[in-house]
A and B are shown apart, each in its own frame.
Chain A
Amino acid sequence: NAGVTQTPKFQVLKTGQSMTLQCAQDMNHNSMYWYRQDPGMGLRLIYYSASEGTTDKGEVPNGYNVSRLNKREFSLRLESAAPSQTSVYFCASSESNGKETQYFGPGTRLLVL
């Protein structure tokens, strides 16, 4: 099992550009999450999907959209990137929503100039 995979690993964008971060899990988990990690601020939840076909906002959803394409895949889209979105983005999955252990991907490092 690969666990949780994320692409790309690193990306540089110019302000106003758009991009989609991809995430896939092969553990047959129901729930998936997108976090951003900034120095000294821990992990902040952007969006989550409790199950296939559902998505909900987390703590910091502004400027982002998500798609739960199927049970395996959960993508995060930046429509018009801003320098404030420079961060490390982690995708995670869990067997069910919240209570169970979350398994994290390796992260995507995004730099917005």
Chain B
Amino acid sequence: QQQVKQSPQSLIVQKGGISIINCAYENTAFDYFPWYQQFPGKGPALLIAIRPDVSEKKEGRFTISFNKSAKQFSLHIMDSQPGDSATYFCAASKGAGKSTFGDGTTLTVKP
């Protein structure tokens, strides 16, 4: 049973455009929702994270929007740049439990 569903699987955006990646979760006990960025040949690294007591968190060009009632959260990348081309993973965890990851989205930003 996949507890975190991520879409789309791949995304192509023009430079300067907005990239949007969505995740949906099933377990209402999840209380921590990070996004990880992974470049080819590297390990994933934390990009931005949110807890369910807020509906939005912004760090530079990256924003997480969180909808607790719909059990959905999304990553928005404003003014997308070729250097943002990477694979993005959403994740969810609860208390002392383990993190569950989405299947990843490969983002390509065309110059």
Contact = CB atoms under 8 A, between A and B. Distances in A.
B101 A101 contact: no
A48 interface: yes
A96 B45 contact: no
Interface in A88-106: 90, 92, 96-106
A40 B104 CA distance: 7
A50 B42 contact: no
Interface residues of B, number: 25
A40 B9 contact: yes
Interface residues of A, number: 25
A12 interface: no
A42 B93 contact: no
B111 interface: no
B43 A90 contact: yes
Contacts of B55: none
Interface in B18-41: 31-32, 34, 36, 41
B11 interface: no
A40 B103 contact: yes
A1 to B, nearest CB: 14
B104 A42 contact: yes
Contact of A104 (B41, B44, B103): B44
Contacts of A45: 98-99
Interface in A59-113: 90, 92, 96-107
Given A90-B44, A97-B98, 10 more contacts: A33-B98, A42-B6, A42-B103, A44-B101, A97-B96, A98-B96, A101-B34, A102-B44, A106-B43, A107-B42
Interface of B: 6, 9, 31-32, 34, 36, 41-46, 49, 89, 93-99, 101-104
10 closest A-B pairs by beta carbon, nearest first, are A104-B43, A42-B103, A98-B93, A43-B101, A98-B97, A101-B46, A98-B98, A97-B96, A42-B101, A42-B104
